[in-house]
Each structure stands twice: as C-alpha cells, then as structure tokens.
Structure 1
Amino acid sequence: MKAATKEKILSQVKAWDYMKNLPEQMHGFNYVLLMEEKGDVLDLYRYENKEAHRSITVYYHEETSEYKLRMRIGLTEFCVIEYIYAELEAFQEILQERCSGLLADMQTFNPEHITSIIHDKKIMQWDYKKKLPETFAGFRLFITPDQPVRIINGSYIVFDYSDFTSKSNFIIYYNVFRNEFFGESRIFDIPEVSYDFDSHELQELINKLDVKLFPYLQEIRTRIDSK
C-alpha cells in the first residue's frame, strides 16, 4: 500500500467514531482491532467466533479505492458485495443497518434468507445428509445440506468436510445461475477444482457421490499425510 494512501485512510479511521464505539461482542462474535497492512489491503477490525470458524473483516482496498467487508465461513473467505463503498460515511450506514443481522445469520441459520431456487430444488430437505458421517478420514462435516451457506456469484455451499488443522477441505456447491452442482477441494489452503461431481439434478449428484465421495476424501487425506 502506498504511504500516502495509508496515511489518508489512517487519518479517516482515527476520526471514525463508529469504529471507536463498536461493542466488544455481538451475537457470539468477539471484536478484534487489527489495523494490519497486507499488500494493497488495510484490515481495520474483525468480529470472529473462533470455535464456530466464522468471522467478518472490515478493510480498505487500495486497488479499488473502496471500503469492503469479507466473510469467512470455515476455510472459505470472500468479499460481500453489498458492503462495497468508496465513501466512509456510506459504508458506515450499511454497517449500521445490516452488520448485526449479518452476524446473527452467521451464528444461527435463517432459512428465510435462502433464495427460493434453493427451496424449490429441495436441497434443504435432501435426505442424503443421513449418508454423510460426522467424520471421515480426519475430516469433519462442517456444513450440512439442511443449512446451506450463500457465498458469492450465486453459489451456495451444500456441504463441507473440513480439516482445519491442515487447512484442507472438500465442498459441494450449487450455483443458482447455472443450475449446477460442483465440487472443490482445498489442500493446505490451496483450492483445486474437481469436475467429478458436476451435476444438474440431485439424483445425478447422488449417483456420483455414492461412488466417488469417500474415495476422494481418502485421496485428499493421503496427499495431506504425504507432505
């Protein structure tokens, strides 16, 4: 980050009463003051629930000259597009209006905030959850189909097997725009796309999961242990 940009943002934040008066806790999340520079990003503060592996981080992005908010669910982190503003005053307004509700939804699943397409697809009523053990090959079932998580670009996490110690996981997503299920793994925090689970209908996905899911998880575990 350029010295002039950093000086400008630090000056704005120093006078930002909203940030000074944030509560220490909100909906089970703890406030953490950051003020950490990472490349062209200056992280300002975070609300985190370490036990639940969830957090939000408020930051300034020099590349786009905007204040932003990114969300972390397990090993998945992304910028929430509703919270992108060039002016601090407008950014504060959206934080005041929505941030508490955002944290509440991260703490307690709210089916009312799930798009009707997911409801129509019957993903939340999908009984395949019964076939998903709580643990397998060192992975823990972190997200389940009855409580999908909306991320970006029209995608939802349907289920997530994670090993937080090695920063590795396997996720099945559903994208509402493409009407497509697909898989992605992360090994030592490096994402890898898998085309083995691409499907348009639940039954098609089930057929592939029945054959490939557990061997795939075991393959990831073997790769982790070989490092």
Structure 2
Amino acid sequence: MEEYRMIEKDGKPVEYRLFTYENQDNGWTVRAIFNPESEEFSIRTDIGMLEFALIEFITDSFELFRSMVEERLARIVNDYYVDRKRNFSIILRNKGVPDVEWDDFLPESYKGFRRLIKPNDAVRIINGSYMILSYYDAATRSGLSLMYNLLRDDFFAERRVQNFPNLVHDFDTSSLKELEKALKKRLVPVLDTIAADRDKSLSE
C-alpha cells in the first residue's frame, strides 16, 4: 500500500516511507523508504524478531531504485517471505533441516509467544544465515529466534525482551540431531525464562 509519509522518532525524521507490504497473518512488513540522513533509498524487512535492509536495493538514485523495485521486489517478497521453500539453499536442504517432523515437538504457541517460523519454512535473513525458528510476542517485542549459518555450519539462538537482544547458548551446535534433542529439552524452559523477564519488564 502507498504511504508517502515521514516517520519521526523523538521529534526527528528517521525515514520517509514510500510504501509498505504487510502480511496480515503474521504482521511481517517489507517497506520502501528514503533515509533523510544518508539520502539513500532502501528496502527494509521486519519479520518480528529481526529487522534488516535488503542491501542490493540501497542506492541514492531514485530512478535506479524504482527500476529495481519494479523488476525484482515482487519476486523477492514471494520467494523470501511467502513461498519460502523456493529460496532454500542446497546446503540447508542437505543439512536435513526441512525434513524433520518439527510439529511433533514445537508448539504453535506458548505463554503469549506465537510460532511465526518453523524450520520447514525457514527465512533467509542476512550474513549467510536462515532464521529457522521464531517465537514472538508482538505486543512486547519479545521472543526467541533460532538461526542456521550456512558458512559456519552452526545453529545459534537469540532472545529479545522489549526488543533488547541477548544470545542464548542452549541450542549452540552444528549437529541437527543435537539441535532436536536440545529443543525437546530446553525450548520450554528458555521460553519460560523469557516470559518471566518480559512480565517483569512490564511491571517495572
């Protein structure tokens, strides 16, 4: 949808929003912006637990930006965030990540956290990584995300409370089998801890 409006923070302009695509089911957005400070156009993606720029779209030329958006953005939105399996790396496939019956032990929701991503529908993010699991409470911007880095061949996790990030080491491994074991044993306790910290922050 078209917006054409300036977004301000603490009274200062931070981005001029040209348009936003929003997934009504999970609240994800892909937006086109102009940064008044850097004087650059870019596409920014917000998938709840992470927000990042698609670096291939960053330019200071509006004509080039418009051309790239018209030629490529619709396909990228579909492949990256809708029909995500189309964008799976052969490394991710060979690792076996899409093949596990994750629904057998990953709840769809828990203590206010909604599962927005599961490994069968992993999302390509940045720095050679996929987000393969995400539990998120949009109201408090809190949750847990689990990533797989293609270059390092390892799984790693991050928690957020009120959008403040911290690493979680309960799921650090390069073995898919060990990851399954860790998730079965540690997912609920980790979410319990995040929920307690989230609730504490709300009461302060």
Match of 2:5 in 1: 34
Partner of 1:205: 179
Q: Unpaired segments of 5 or more residues in structure 2?
A: none
Aligned to 2:56: 82
Q: Give the match for residue 28 of structure 2.
A: 54
Asked whether the 8 Å contact 2:80–2:124 carries over to 1, the reply is: no
Length, aligned pairs only: 198
**CA deviation after TM superposition for structure 1 residue 50, in Å:** 4.1
Question: 1:215 is matched with which residue: 180, 184, 189?
Answer: 189
The answer on whether the counterparts of 2:91 and 2:150 sit within 8 Å (CA) in structure 1 is yes
Using a 3 Å threshold, how does the CA distance of structure 1 residues 226 and 153 change in structure 2: closer, same or farther? same
Q: Which residue of 2 aligns with 1:125?
A: 99
Q: What corresponds to 2:133 in structure 1?
A: 159
Alpha-carbon distance in 2 for matches of 1:90, 1:151: 23
Q: Relative to structure 1, is the Cα distance of residues 62 and 89 closer, same or farther in structure 2, using a 3 angstrom cutoff?
A: same
Please state how far the C-alpha of 1:174 moved relative to its aligned partner: 0.4
**Identity of aligned pairs, percent?**
32
Q: Greater Rg, structure 1 or structure 2?
A: 1
- Give, in angstroms, the shift of residue 191 of structure 1: 1.2
Say yes or no: does 1:179 pair with 2:153: yes
Question: Is the Cα contact below 8 Å between 1:44 and 1:59 reproduced in 2?
Answer: yes
SS state at 1:152 partner:
coil
C-alpha distance in structure 2 between counterparts of 1:193 and 1:62, whole Å: 32
Q: CA deviation at 1:65?
A: 4.1
Normalising by structure 2, we get a TM-score of 0.88
Q: Of residues 86, 92, 95 in structure 2, which corresponds to 1:112?
A: 86
Deviation readout 1:105-162 (Å, 9 max, x if unpaired)? 3563242221111111111112233101111122111111110001111111111111
Name 1:141's counterpart in structure 2.
Answer: 115
TM-score (normalizing by structure 1) = 0.79
Distance 1:32 1:154 in 2: 32
Amino acid at match of 2:3: V
Q: What residue in structure 1 maps to residue 17 of structure 2? A: 44
The structural deviation recorded for 1:210 is: 2.4
- 198-207 or 33-42, which moves further after superposition? 33-42
Letter in 1 for 2:190: Y
Q: Is the 8 A contact 1:184 1:194 kept in 2?
A: yes
SS at 1:146 equivalent:
helix
